[in-house]
C-alpha cells in the first residue's frame, strides 16, 4: 500500500498525480468556537458555573500545504504512472489559478489490485479547494528539476436553496426545502459542439446531474427548447453542430 496525491480541475477534465510524494504534508482543521463571560450566580456544578463559556460553531475551512519537486527525469522515487515535463505541472496550476474556480484535492491510499476487496477507501481526504499560494524555482545543478511549494484552502459551494410552500393536514402553510444537491465543481460552457454519434441525451448526461449526483438525461428537453429545435430537427443533428446549453 502507498499513498497518492491527486489534483484535478473541472470535474476531473484535467488533472494529474503529484509525481513525487512530498516528505511532509500539513493539513490543519480547527474549530471556530467563541468565548463569552457570563456574569451571575454559579449554577451549582462545574458544567453550569458562571464565568467564561465556549459556544461551539461550525469548524473553520481545512488548509493543506506541501512542498516537493517536479522531476525532469524518471527517478526511482517517482510514484506516478505518468510523468510530464516539469513546466507542464507549473503551467497547469497557474492556469487553474487564473480561472478563479476551485480544484479538487485528493489524498489517499493506493492498493494493489488483489488487495482492493480487502480494504475500504473511505478514509481518503477528498475536498474542493482554492489555490492560495503557489511558488516554484529551478536550482542550479538540479538537471531541470523544479522545486515547488503549494498551499490550498478548502472551498465550500454555496447557493440559495429553493423552498416550496405547502399546506399540511391542519391547513397551515409549511415551507419545505428541496433536496440538497451534491456540490458540482464543473465549469459548464455556454455552447457545445456535437461530436460524431452524440445526441442531446448524451449532452444532457455529460453536463448535468441529478440531486444525487447521477448523470441527468432529462435536461435534453431544456436543451432542445433553448435551441428552438423541433423533434425532426433533433433527429437530423450532425457532428459539428453548435448548440447552446442552459446555465442552470
User: Minimum mean pLDDT among 30-34, 106-110, 219-223, 233-237: which range?
Assistant: 30-34
pLDDT at 131: 95
Q: Of residues 133 and 54, which shows the higher confidence score?
A: 133
pLDDT of 128 higher than 80: yes
Prediction pTM value: 0.59
Mean pLDDT of the chain, nearest integer:
80
Q: All 3 cell numbers of residue 248?
A: 442552470
- Contacts with 181 (C-beta within 8 Å, 6 or more apart), sequence order: 211, 213
Q: What mean pLDDT do residues 217-232 have?
A: 90
Q: Of residues 222 and 168, which shows the higher confidence score?
A: 222
pLDDT at 248: 72
Cell numbers 480544484 correspond to 103
Residue ranges of alpha helices (H) inside the chain are 86-99, 200-207, 220-226, 231-235
Q: Quote the distance between the C-alpha of residue 76 and its chain's center.
A: 31
Q: What mean pLDDT do residues 62-80 have?
A: 93
CA dihedral sign, ordered 77, 79, 85, 87:
negative
Check if the beta carbon of residue 62 is closer than 8 Å to that of residue 28: yes
The CA-atom distances, in angstroms, between 212 and each of 128, 181, 209, 215 are 18, 7, 8, 9
Percent of the chain having pLDDT more than 90?
A: 38
Domain architecture of the chain: domains with CATH = 2-29+61-154 (2.40.30), 182-244 (no CATH)
Q: Of residues 108 and 200, which shows the higher confidence score?
A: 200
Rounded Cα distance, 248 and 245, in Å: 9
pLDDT at 215: 83
Amino acid at each position: 500500500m502507498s499513498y497518492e496525491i491527486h489534483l484535478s480541475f473541472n470535474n476531473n477534465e484535467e488533472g494529474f498525480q503529484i509525481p513525487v510524494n512530498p516528505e511532509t504534508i500539513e493539513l490543519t482543521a480547527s474549530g471556530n468556537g467563541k468565548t463569552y463571560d457570563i456574569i451571575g450566580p454559579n449554577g451549582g456544578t462545574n458544567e453550569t458555573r458562571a464565568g467564561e463559556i465556549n459556544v461551539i460553531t461550525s469548524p473553520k475551512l481545512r488548509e493543506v500545504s506541501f512542498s516537493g519537486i517536479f522531476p525532469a527525469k524518471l527517478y526511482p522515487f517517482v510514484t506516478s504512472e505518468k510523468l510530464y515535463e516539469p513546466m507542464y505541472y507549473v503551467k497547469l496550476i497557474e492556469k487553474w489559478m487564473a480561472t478563479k474556480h476551485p480544484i479538487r484535492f485528493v489524498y489517499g491510499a493506493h492498493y494493489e489490485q488483489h488487495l482492493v476487496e480487502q480494504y475500504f477507501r473511505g478514509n481518503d481526504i477528498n475536498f474542493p479547494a482554492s489555490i492560495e499560494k503557489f511558488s516554484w524555482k529551478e536550482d542550479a545543478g538540479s538537471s531541470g528539476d523544479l522545486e515547488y511549494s503549494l498551499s490550498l484552502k478548502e472551498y465550500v459551494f454555496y447557493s440559495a436553496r429553493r423552498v416550496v410552500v405547502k399546506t399540511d393536514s391542519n391547513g397551515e402553510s409549511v415551507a419545505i426545502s428541496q433536496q440538497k444537491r451534491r456540490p458540482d465543481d464543473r465549469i459548464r460552457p455556454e455552447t457545445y459542439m456535437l461530436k460524431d454519434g452524440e445526441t442531446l441525451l448524451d449532452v444532457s448526461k455529460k453536463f448535468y446531474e441529478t440531486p444525487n449526483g447521477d448523470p441527468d438525461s432529462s435536461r435534453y428537453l431544456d436543451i432542445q427548447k433553448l435551441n428552438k429545435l423541433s423533434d425532426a430537427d433533433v433527429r437530423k443533428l450532425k457532428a459539428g453542430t453548435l448548440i447552446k446549453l442552459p446555465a442552470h
